[in-house]
Amino acid sequence: MLQGMKQTIKNVVAIPSFKAYQLVPCRPTLHVLRKTHNIQMTADEMSRIVSAIQAKPKCRLLIFGVGNDSRLWAWINRNGKTVFFEDSREWINIVAARTPGLHILEVKYSTRADEWKSLFDRPDRLTMELPTEVKENEWDVVIVDAPVGWYDESPGRMQSIFMARRLVVPGGDVFVHDCDREIERVYADHFYGSENLVEEVGLLRHYKVKK
């Protein structure tokens, strides 16, 4: 049986990657899809998010950040609602040109990464102005993979982590990427509760958020 699965995978890798994954939805074909589209997340990380999305019929998916993986998430959630937040006009233009029809909303962040220690108890600084269509929905799955947060003058992910807590449905899933960095780890544990950490895979943390 294992040999048969391996042969099936070999047969579909020559098919465009999204179709291949649809035919054989497993990690090896997800890995092929990742390589084809130059996606930074590992196949193991991506598979956790895919499982959460597919567990919710007509999933409401909110993603902080656009990039090479945007088409994947929209495709995986093609029977649901997917909205992206992005603060880089350059990336918005790149991704929108590559995959027309994505629902991308431009947002602004008002923090600096080097302020993170002083903002835990400052909801006035962490709250973002968002469109009504976003605020009036509760989101089943939220992915935090933006904004830039690796140098002091960058916005950091304090606001996106904080807002994900407000926007996710009770019992919903929040995924925070790049948790090798202190800001992501500390803010996610603070606002979601370390006791609600479901799993940590590579640089990705998965929280089941209680309200």
pLDDT at 17: 65
pLDDT at 19: 65
Q: What CATH architecture is 41-209?
A: 3-Layer(aba) Sandwich (3.40)
For the chain, which residues make up each domain, given as ranges? 1-37, 41-209
Q: What is the pLDDT along the chain (211 residues), one digit of tens a residue?
A: 555 544 444 443 334 566 666 655 677 778 778 888 889 999 999 999 999 999 999 999 999 999 999 999 999 999 999 999 999 999 999 999 999 999 999 999 999 999 999 999 999 999 999 999 898 899 999 999 999 999 999 999 999 999 999 999 999 999 999 999 999 999 999 999 999 999 999 999 999 998 7
pLDDT at 109: 98
Asked whether the whole model's pTM tops 0.85, one would answer yes
**Three-class SS of the chain:** CHHHHHHHHHHHCCCCHHHHHHHCCCHHHHHHHHHHHCCCCCHHHHHHHHHHHHCCCCCEEEEECCCCCHHHHHHHCCCCEEEEEECCHHHHHHHHHHCCCCCEEECCCCCCHHHHHHCCCCHHHHCCCCCHHHHCCCEEEEEECCCCCCCCCCCCCHHHHHHHHHHEEEEEEEEECCCCCHHHHHHHHHHHCHHHEEEEECCEEEEEECC
